[in-house]
Structure 1
Amino acid sequence: MSCQDSKSIIWEENFEGTELNESFWNYQLGDGCPDLCGWGNNERQIYTRENAKLQNGNLIITATKKGDVYKSTRITTKDKIEFQYGTIEVKAKLPTGQGLWPAVWMLGSDIDEIGWPDCGEIDILEYVGKEPHTIYTSLHTRDSHGNTINSKKTVNYSIEEGFHIYKCIWTAEKIEFYLDDQLVYTFFPEIKNDQTWPFNKPFYIIINLAIGGNFGGPEVDDSIFPKEFEIDYIKIWQ
């Protein structure tokens, strides 16, 4: 029996229609300045509304370069769709090329009050074009001091081909990550406190396509643009 059968969907986004549903989603715009220039990672892109569109039931985020300006899109469910524990499933198709950094991830809803990394971060999917065939699933906590020590790299030689399913099962005890229904990483700290386990509170979802930066770059292949990151759906069960 799958989790879909035994549990109920509390939220799903199938990206139907012609415009993003802003009762679910916020656009984060600009370059992060003045508070978080380069979005905290020396990223090159400016985030806009125009670099995202809905087409044939998919969200398509397009990374572009015109002159010296890189553009992309970042959206979040902050203050709109926040939840504690559950199964989060995403069906996505990756963009490829040196310098691209697509991600589906989550942050603790108290980030404005206590900051990062104390709020906690759950990275369901990260991919960097400079490292083909590799998916990152990671956690950030105070204990890791912002370094990704709680992380797993999964090699899959067909990951760039078509759509794949990325899933996270988050409970009060552990967080499991799946790629195409195969378990790839389990985070299960023996001692759970504010340093190691900031995952006992609501989180919200972020989808973005970064360019360059500390992780995605620093080199960017300017010949690749435009490139598309496609999301078919997001579903949450509890």
Structure 2
Amino acid sequence: MKYSVVLFIVLTFFSCNNDTQKLVWEENFDGDVLKETTWNFELGNGCPNLCGWGNNELQIYTKRNHNVKNGFLTISANLKDSVYTSTRITTKDKFEFKYGKVEVRAKLPLGKGLWPAFWMLGANINEVGWPNCGEIDVLEYVGKEPHVIFTSLHTPDSHGNTINTKKTTIESIEDGFHVYTANWTANKIEFFVDNNLVYTFSPDIKDEQTWPFNQSFFMIINLAIGGGFGGLEVDNSIFPQDFVIDYIRVYQ
């Protein structure tokens, strides 16, 4: 009798939890091409409006530096004839969401000068610009700082070299795949690596300067080279290097 009551309570608990966060969108990279009904390619070096993509980055983005195979998206950074190339994709105007949990399972590239990232920008960026639109960096890694993951927020009152950031040292982070998560609510944004909480952002005062996170955002995946954050010193002996994404899931 007591066992039945305990079992009922446990099942009810998990049922309630599942009801609060349901899978609403996922990308498993099935097939052998990137679905352009979901993804946009951002091409070139950002010029003339945002040369170096706003960070003095060195790469040119192309449609050729990626492949989809066996359920994985692989973005490759390459160097040929003194030209760095890579790929950057977004879901702008195709999939945007407000609040929820987003997670990505990914394997990092290695080497000084590399800067892989999974991040989000406010959908109103064309109207208000950056940083007014807000930015949520779920995963950033720079090869010049091994074993360190960056999770950051950019807002009108703190952007660029933002104070709203956390560096987390994980000695094994370069080994295999890991899951990076942001749980975003009306009151806070929590960041996790492999289900371990690493950073929580929840300013006491939430206004246009500190909390542009009350609107829809879109996702970005890219592998940058060099730049103000990635570092202008690049080890040219490392190329090619791959940033591999297994899946992306959004729960609400």
- Do the structures match in fold with TM over 0.5? yes
Q: What TM-score do the two structures reach when normalised by structure 1?
A: 0.98
Distance 1:131 1:21 in 2: 33
**Cα displacement string for residues 41-81 of structure 1 (whole angstroms, at most 9, x for unaligned residues):** 00000000100110110000000000110000000000000
Amino acid in structure 2 at the alignment position of 1:231: I
* Counterpart residue number, 1:27: 41
Hey, what does 2:18 align to over in structure 1? 5
Mapped to 1, the partners of 2:101 and 2:89 lie a distance apart of: 20
Aligned to 2:51: 37
Cα distance in 1, alignment partners of residues 92 and 212 from structure 2: 17
Instruction: Name the residue aligned to 1:206.
Output: 220
Tell me, in whole angstroms, the C-alpha distance in 2 between the residues paired with 1:194 and 1:2.
36
Q: Secondary structure at the match of 1:142?
A: coil
Describe how 1:59-98 pairs up with structure 2 within 5 A.
59-98=73-112
What is the CA–CA distance in structure 1 between the aligned matches of 2:152 and 2:205, rounded to whole Å? Answer: 18
Equivalent residues of 1:52, 1:59 under 8 A apart = yes
Alignment-derived partner of residue 186 in structure 2: 172
Alignment-mate amino acid for residue 192 of structure 2: Y
Q: Which amino acid aligns with 2:18?
A: D
For 2:112 and 2:162, the matched residues in 1 are separated by: 21
Alignment of 1:141-220 (within 5 A): 141-220=155-234
Q: In structure 2, what is the Cα distance between the partners aligned to 1:2 and 1:101?
A: 40
Number of residue pairs matched?
238
In 2, are the aligned partners of 1:3 and 1:237 still within 8 Å (CA)? no
Superposition CA RMSD, Å: 1.2
1:56 to 70, 73, 77: 70
Given the alignment of the two structures, is residue 140 of structure 1 paired with residue 154 of structure 2, yes or no? yes
SS at match of 1:184: strand
Rg larger in structure: 2
**What CA deviation, in whole Å up to 9, does each residue of 1:125-158 have, x standing for no partner?**
0000000000000000001043321000000000
Q: Which has the higher helix share?
A: 2
Report the Cα distance in structure 2 between the residues aligned to 1:210 and 1:80, rounded to whole angstroms: 23
Residues 46 and 167 of structure 1: CA distance in aligned 2, closer, same or farther (over 3 Å): same
Structure 1 Cα separation of the partners of residues 16 and 65 of structure 2: 34
Structure 1 residues 191 and 39: CA distance shift in structure 2, 3 A: same
Question: Per-residue displacement from partner, 1:133-188 (whole Å, max 9, x unpaired)?
Answer: 00000000001043321000000000000000000000000000000000000000
Residues 109-120 of structure 1 mapped to structure 2, 5 A cutoff: 109-120=123-134
Q: Secondary structure at the match of 1:39?
A: helix
Q: TM-score, normalised by structure 2?
A: 0.93
Structure 1, unpaired ranges of 5+: none
Hey, what's the Cα distance between the residues in 1 that align with 2:15 and 2:176?
23
Secondary structure of 2:157 counterpart: helix
Q: Does residue 244 of structure 2 align to residue 230 of structure 1?
A: yes
Deviation of residue 2 (structure 1)?
9.7
1:232 deviates by: 0.1
| Shift in CA distance, 3/82, structure 1 to aligned 2, threshold 3 Å | farther
